Amino acid sequence: MSWAYLNNSFHRKEEVSISPYDRGFLFGDGVYEVIPSYSGEMLLYDEHISRLARSLEAVSIDKPRQWNNLEPIIEDLLQRNKFQNQAVYIQVTRGQDKIRSHVPDKLTAPTLFIESSELSTDLLQPDFKEPLIDVGMKEDLRWSRCDIKAITLLGNVLTLNELNDVGLEEVIFYKDGYITEGAKSNIFFVFGEEIVTPPTSKNILSGTTRNYLIDLLRKNNFNVMEREISVKEIEEADEIWFSSSVQVLRMVHKINNKLILEKDFKNTIGYKAIELLRQDILV
């Protein structure tokens, strides 16, 4: 039996409910954050909460009144749900209105929802399974503020559903001839000894794991650059990675069935990056 938190109290997950007049339900009017927790310790908590605050400010949603108590609330939730490793999901919507209206009532109070689920660490184990995934490429038709971690993810969902039907797990989005990111991840390319990732912008989420990975690689003397990457450069890449809070780092095997990386991945820079992450996160 698992627990979740809604507004002011904890509830069994199957008992959690919101009004259909909540603006998150009616308009997707809200933002969210995902925080990994390993053995009861949240990874990059301050960075995740700071990004949640930036998202709230960007869409002019007030912080929920429990804001200053978020950390103890989450710690309580982690203890209630008992899993050794968990992914914590936090969602804040503009709140519940009395009627459906595009313009919110100024007295509407934010809705706070927090839940956690078991998080696999297979990819961070010494004998981890293959971190290789097959992906597709699609023009990025999502809204133009992907730097805001909004709950309105219909473009991501439609793309991933389409790709999943043909056995692909992620997408490389591109806009105006340049790579942006994945549907649920940031993206890295390896050209020779150089690791390159697109710079953050309104088209790209400033990924907390992305930033953490960049810092970790640089501390270990890897050459990491942030610059725009054209679609044409993909064919020159030796490796392509996706990073996210939940899956940490995955490496691309094929793009639209075109081979990028052989199955023998243990001599790659990506494999070395996974080893660094494992040592830094789990040890």
pLDDT of residue 133: 87
241: in domain: yes
Both 83 and 194 in one domain: the answer is no
Question: Which residues, 6+ apart, have CB-to-CB distance to 216 below 8 Å?
Answer: 273, 276, 277, 280
Q: Which of 138, 149, 175, 184 is catalytic?
A: 149
pLDDT at position 22 over 90: yes
Could you report the per-residue pLDDT of 78-132, keeping only the tens digit for each? 999 999 999 999 999 999 999 999 999 888 999 999 999 999 887 777 666 667 8
pLDDT of residue 129: 63
> In the chain, how many domains are there?
2
Which among 64, 86, 119 is the end of a domain?
A: 119
pLDDT at position 260 over 80: no
Give CA–CA dist 273/283, Å, rounded: 15
Q: Is 77 helix (H, G, I), strand (E, B) or coil?
A: helix
Q: Which of 176, 186, 203 is nearest to 240 (CA)?
A: 186
127: in domain: no
Q: Which of 253, 143, 135 is nearest to 205 (CA)?
A: 143
Both 141 and 46 in one domain: the answer is no
Strand partners, 248: 244
Residue 210 sits in a domain whose CATH number is 3.20.10.10
Using only C-alpha atoms, what is the Rg of the chain? 20
Q: Which of 110, 86, 94, 102 is nearest to 37 (CA)?
A: 86
Does residue 232 have an active-site annotation? no
214: in domain: yes
Task: Report which DSSP code applies to 235.
Answer: G
124: in domain: no
160: in domain: yes
Buried b (16+ CB within 10 A) or exposed e, 105-128: eeebebbbbbbbeebebebbeeee
Residue 114 sits in a domain whose CATH number is 3.30.470.10
pTM of full prediction above 0.95 = no
Pairing verdict, β 111-118 and 3-6: antiparallel
For 239: left if phi > 0, alpha if psi spans -120 to 50, otherwise beta; the answer is: beta
197: in domain: yes
Confidence of residue 77 (pLDDT cuts 50, 70, 90): very high
Both 143 and 269 in one domain: the answer is yes
Both 94 and 185 in one domain: the answer is no
Both 186 and 267 in one domain: the answer is yes
Q: Give the range of the structural domain holding residue 190, as residue numbers without chain letter.
A: 132-282
Task: Return the number of other C-beta atoms located less than 10 Å from residue 145's C-beta.
Answer: 14
125: in domain: no
Give CA–CA dist 165/171, Å, rounded: 13
pLDDT of residue 214: 97
